[in-house]
Amino acid sequence: MRNASYILFTLFVALLVGFGSAFFMLENGRRITAQQYGAWIGWVNAGGADTDPYHKAGLARTGALQLGRAEGLVFSASQDDNGDRLDGKCSYLISGSTPRASIWTLRATEVTSNDPTIKTPNYLTSLQVNRHPDGGFDIIAAPQAQPGNWLNTMDIGKMKFTLSFYDTNAFLVVGHESVVLPTVQKVSCS
């Protein structure tokens, strides 16, 4: 009798560890293979033949579509450059430059229970952004209207920024590790 309870206990622990580790990897495994560029994280190998299984599983769980490697890449930032969570009640300065791309978009989305939903109809594209003479830019993401390049974050609580590049090869060449994405700095909170 003692041997049977030991076997059942061992089986229970094995199932718990097996399913628990599978759930953990489906929830967090994508981060293991992500590349970090300042506050931004992304999967530069996504959309190709060598896409890792954790990224594929994450896409399958969310139902998201992956752009092909030649079509573009998506990066997200849920923290600023200091590592603080992004909050829609705060103002952020997103500044710098981007790698060459036919077009890029920047949007703010609310993050609730792993289901990002767009609450603001506003987003910016590279065609709308006023630039400095050197090609750089400054974007203020804030709940109140701002002069210059403004990304509306009204009615967003816990949020993330999504920066999508379309028709870019900056991440396909050797040395893509040296690519620099814009900084994300908290300016103030209301």
pLDDT in single tens digits along all 190 residues of the chain: 677 777 877 877 888 877 666 666 555 555 566 678 889 988 776 666 666 666 666 666 666 666 666 677 888 899 999 999 999 889 999 999 888 888 999 999 887 645 555 555 578 999 999 999 998 999 999 999 899 999 988 767 788 999 988 887 766 654 456 678 999 999 998 7
What pLDDT was estimated at residue 113?
46
What pLDDT was estimated at residue 129?
93
Q: Which residues contact 188 (CB under 8 A, 6 or more apart)?
A: 90, 91
Alpha carbons within 13 A on the beta-carbon side of 179: 24
Rounded to an integer, what distance in angstroms lies between the CA atom of residue 145 and that of residue 17?
50
Q: Which one-letter amino acid corresponds to residue 161?
A: F
Taking the mean position of all CA atoms in its chain, how far away is CA 163? 8
pTM over 0.85: no
What pLDDT was estimated at residue 38?
87
What pLDDT was estimated at residue 184?
96
Q: Which one-letter amino acid corresponds to residue 172?
A: L
What pLDDT was estimated at residue 127?
92
What pLDDT was estimated at residue 95?
95
Q: Where are the beta strands (DSSP E) in the chain?
A: 35-37, 40-42, 72-77, 90-96, 103-112, 115-117, 123-125, 137-142, 149-152, 159-166, 183-189
Rounded to an integer, what distance in angstroms lies between the CA atom of residue 69 and that of residue 44?
8
What pLDDT was estimated at residue 48?
61
Q: Which domains does the chain have, with CATH numbers?
A: 34-189 (2.60.120.600)
What pLDDT was estimated at residue 7?
80
How far the first Cα of the chain sits from its last, in Å, is: 65
